[in-house]
Structure 1
C-alpha cells in the first residue's frame, strides 16, 4: 500500500476582493511598520502591522498566543474589509498581522514550532500585493500565491522567502486554533489522515533562535514554552551525541 502524502499546504477555494484588500491596506500604510522580531532569520526589510494582538496592543507583533486576551487593535477598526475577512473565519484567532517583505529581502530557510494543522494551530496567508519574482519555498516546493487567494502553509516544514521584484510583497497572515469549523474547511481539501505529525524536525539552531526570541519578546508567562523547547534541545543534542557513527 502506498504511503499517504502528508499535507504541507492547501490553496482553498476562498477568494477575497483584491481591490478592497488594497483599499484597506492604503489606510494602514500611513502607520508605522514594526520590524519582525526574529532578526537572525532575514536580511533586509521584513515588517509587520498587528491587527489582532494581546490586549489589542498595536505594537505587539508576536505571533504566539499567551494568557492575555487577544483583541482587535485600534487599526483594524479603520479597515472594514480586512475586519470582514478575518471575521469570516469561524475559528479562534491567535494572531492577525499584515506582513511586508521589502524589495530584495531574503528570509533564510527555517522551521517554526508546532504551527501545522496537526498541532491544532495553523497559519493562513491571504496575499494583498505581490509580484512574479517572489519565491516562497516550502518543503522544497515553490508556492505561487496571488492577491485575494487563501492558503494554508505548514511552517513546521523548512521554508524560505525572497523578494527579487521591484515592489514589496504584502500578505494578511492569520494564525488560528483548530475547531470543528476549520476541520470542515481543511478536510474538504485534503484527507484527515494526511494531517499527522510530520517527519520535519526543528534543527538545533532553530530551537536556539526560538528560545532567544521568546526570552527577548518579554511577554508574560512564556517560561513553560521555553522550558519545553529547552527539553527538546537537550533531547536533540543527546540523539546527535548517541547516533551511530
Structure 2
C-alpha cells in the first residue's frame, strides 16, 4: 500500500464564478442527509446530478444495478455542471454535490474499493470552500481550492471538518477506469503507483497450499510448490 498514490491535483481548473452560479440555482432544492450517519456530526448533505434511476434524491455512492444510471432533473438548470461532467470521457457511476455545513465534521473513515488501483475512482472539484476546512488524507492535510480538480484515493483513511463561516460544497464524480483516464492519470504519476500490491501469504497458508499440491503429485503442482517456497 505504501507505493500507491494517495491523491493527484490535476493541471485542470474550472471557472469558479460559473460553478458557484450553478450551485446557487439548486441550494433551495431538497438536499438529502448523508446515509452514513455514524460517520459524521453536524449537517452533511447531498444532491445527485447523475444517479441510478436519474433521481436527485438517490445519493448512494454504490449502485444496485437495477436501473439505468443517468442525469437527474437537477442538471436541466445547470449548464456548466453538465459541460464539466461531459468533458470527462469515462463511465460515471454517480455525480453528486456534497455539502458540509459550518461546524460539521466527517470522522476518519475509508471508502472501500474507491482507489484507481481498483479500476474505479473519485474526483473532487471544490465549488465553495474556505481556509478553515481541514481535510486530512492518510495523515496529510490537503488544501483543495475552489475550481481545482483532485483525485482522492478514498481507500485511505480521510476526514474533514469545517471550522469556517460558510458551508463547503464539492462536485464529486465517481467513475470507472478506462484508456482515457489512464492517459490522464499516468501523466501525473508512474503507472506502477496504481498497482495494488499482491497479498502476501502467511507461513500457515503456504503450508496448507503446499500440502494440497503435494497430494496432486503432478509436474505442474511441483512447479507451483517451488514458486511458493521461493516467495
TM-score, scaled to structure 2:
0.83
Separation in structure 2 between the aligned mates of residue 43 and residue 4 of structure 1, nearest angstrom:
30
TM-score, scaled to structure 1:
0.78
Q: Judge which range, 64-73 or 185-194, deviates more.
A: 64-73
1:85-124 map, 5 Å:
85-124=84-123
SS at match of 2:82: helix
Contact 1:65 1:94 in 2 (8 A): yes
Counterpart of 1:60?
A: 58
Q: Which runs of 4+ in 1 moved over 3 A?
A: none
Separation in structure 2 between the aligned mates of residue 83 and residue 6 of structure 1, nearest angstrom:
31
1:33-182 map, 5 Å:
33-67=31-65, 68-182=67-181
What do you get for the CA RMSD once the two structures are aligned? 1.4
Query: Larger C-alpha radius of gyration, 1 or 2?
Result: 2
Separation in structure 1 between the aligned mates of residue 195 and residue 157 of structure 2, nearest angstrom:
16
Separation in structure 2 between the aligned mates of residue 58 and residue 158 of structure 1, nearest angstrom:
28
- The number of equivalent residue pairs is 197
Q: What stretches of structure 2 of length at least 5 have no aligned partner?
A: 199-231
Distance 1:64 1:4, change over 3 A: closer
Contact 1:116 1:156 in 2 (8 A): yes
Separation in structure 2 between the aligned mates of residue 138 and residue 119 of structure 1, nearest angstrom:
18
Distance 1:5 1:186, change over 3 A: same
Displacement after TM superposition at 1:81 (Å): 0.2
Separation in structure 1 between the aligned mates of residue 11 and residue 80 of structure 2, nearest angstrom:
19
Q: What stretches of structure 1 of length at least 5 have no aligned partner?
A: 200-245
Contact 1:137 1:143 in 2 (8 A): yes
Counterpart of 2:15?
A: 17
